[in-house]
Amino acid sequence: MTATIIDGKTIAAELRGKVAFEVAQLKREHGVTPGLAVVLVGQNAASEVYVRSKSKAVVEAGMTPSDHKLPETVSEAELLALIDKLNKNKAVSGILVQLPLPPQIDPQKVIAAIDPAKDVDGFHPVNVGRLSLGLPALVPCTPSGCIMLAKMVWPSLAGLDALVIGRSNIVGKPVAQLLLAENATVTVAHSKTKDLPALARRADLLIAAIGKAELVRGDWVKPGAIVIDVGINRVAGDGGKSRIVGDVAFDEAVKVAGAITPVPGGVGPMTIACLMLNTLRAACAQNGVKAPRL
Ligand SMILES: NC(=O)C1=CN([C@@H]2O[C@H](COP(=O)(O)OP(=O)(O)OC[C@H]3O[C@@H](n4cnc5c(N)ncnc54)[C@H](OP(=O)(O)O)[C@@H]3O)[C@@H](O)[C@H]2O)C=CC1
Ligand SMILES: Nc1nc(=O)c2c([nH]1)NC[C@@H]1CN(c3ccc(C(=O)N[C@@H](CCC(=O)O)C(=O)O)cc3)C=[N+]21
């Protein structure tokens, strides 16, 4: 038996289509066009790829993009001044500051400066707190995408033994909160965890957000488990080219798992689709319109 491959690309395209439909309705009925501002500091090849694909998705959803490129040497004060301007701009529904930032800039200070109502990344302490309290919040995009993909193959996660590998503020911790909200029994592992393979073998649902190419082997996977691979790792490929692989050794795990997400074409595209959804939700909330249930 080989696993069901969860087609993130197709599922993400469907979600983006639904968002575009709702955006058109919001424009028609309320005269509101959602806008997403993306701020990129410095020149990082990978970040530029993400920013381009975000802008493309924004346009396709019928929303207004505004991209702000700042030099690597920009001061924290200059970046904070731009955020203040975007916070006050009514045409901007969502603000995303691409991470990581150069060392002269404190990312926590920048995140805290974003109006929580425009924090479509869900990284602001207000949204983090609201998520952990179980209150409505803007929820981080990659974690939401992981949950949506898992629920495509297993609609109720209640009672599942879930293992999250990774405890970052942008993936591991928020995905653990969302799993808890879905009534899964959640374990969070990290670099100090003892006997990770044994822990992984107990998991009905395994979410890998580590940043280590193919760390999770096939024999770490419980037969029939759902495996969600968040990792994006660039490795040397054939003919001097690079290719991207996940945190899971896909060719091994696909033989054991019940369902698995590929890299590319899994969580990555869902992250972008969830960003579109958050921007729509933010625009609705800012204009007193009830957000659609998508
Ligand atoms: N598909 C998408 O949309 C996105 C993909 N990513 C990708 O996901 C991956 C994780 O990203 P991010 O959370 O930002 O990464 P971080 O580097 O911030 O966090 C990595 C986590 O993995 C843990 N870890 C590292 N090595 C091991 C190990 N050997 N065993 C167990 N745990 C380990 C770390 O533990 P400790 O805390 O102890 O250091 C840490 O908690 C990356 O590949 C990134 O590119 C990220 C965002 C979006
Ligand atoms: N403020 C902030 N918010 C983020 O959400 C954020 C960030 N900073 N910094 C970087 C990470 C990474 N990230 C990805 C988004 C999409 C893909 C994606 O679409 N990947 C495709 C293609 C990848 C490729 O070919 O390079 C795929 O997996 O199929 C990947 C990674 C968002 N991040």
CATH code where residue 258 lies: 3.40.50.720
**Other CB atoms closer than 10 Å to residue 159's CB: what's the count?**
11
Tell me how far apart the alpha carbons of residues 246 and 9 are, in angstroms, rounded to a whole number. 15
- The position carrying tokens 């592992």 is 189
243 is in an annotated binding site: no
The tokens for 40 are 């990129």
Give the largest CA-CA distance in the chain.
56
Q: Is residue 7 situated within a structural domain?
A: no
ipTM over 0.90: yes
Q: Is residue 287 situated within a structural domain?
A: no
**Domain assignment of residue 189, given as a range:** 141-267
pLDDT of 48 above 90 = no
Distances (CA, A) of 142 to 171, 250, 273: 6, 19, 10
pLDDT in tens, 142-154: 999 999 999 999 9
Length of the chain, please? 294
Judge contact between 145 and 155, C-beta under 8 A.
no
Judge contact between 37 and 94, C-beta under 8 A.
yes
- The position carrying tokens 């290719």 is 243
Cβ-proximal residues to 51 (8 Å cutoff; 6+ apart), any chain: 38, 40, 67, 98
Show the ligand 2 pocket: residues with CB < 6 angstroms. Answer: 49-50, 53, 96-99, 121, 141-142, 232, 244, 263-265, 268-269, 271-272
pLDDT in tens, 249-285: 999 999 999 999 999 999 999 999 999 999 999 999 9
Residues 162 and 98 in one domain: no
Q: Which pTM does this prediction carry?
A: 0.98
Nearest ligand, CA 98: 2
Q: Is residue 61 situated within a structural domain?
A: yes
Q: Is residue 125 situated within a structural domain?
A: no
Show the ligand 1 pocket: residues with CB < 6 angstroms. Answer: 142, 165-168, 170-172, 189-193, 196, 209-212, 215, 230-233, 267-268, 271
pLDDT of residue 49: 80
Nearest ligand, CA 211: 1
Across 78-100, average pLDDT? 98
Across 106-135, average pLDDT? 98
Q: Does an H or E element contain 94, and which?
A: strand 94-97
Residues 218 and 162 in one domain: yes
pLDDT of residue 13: 98
Residues 163 and 250 in one domain: yes
| Start-to-end Cα distance in the chain | 33
The number of folded domains in the chain is 2
CA neighbor of 12 nearest in space, from 211, 272, 241, 288: 272
CATH code where residue 101 lies: 3.40.50.10860
User: C-alpha 41: how far from its chain's center?
Assistant: 20
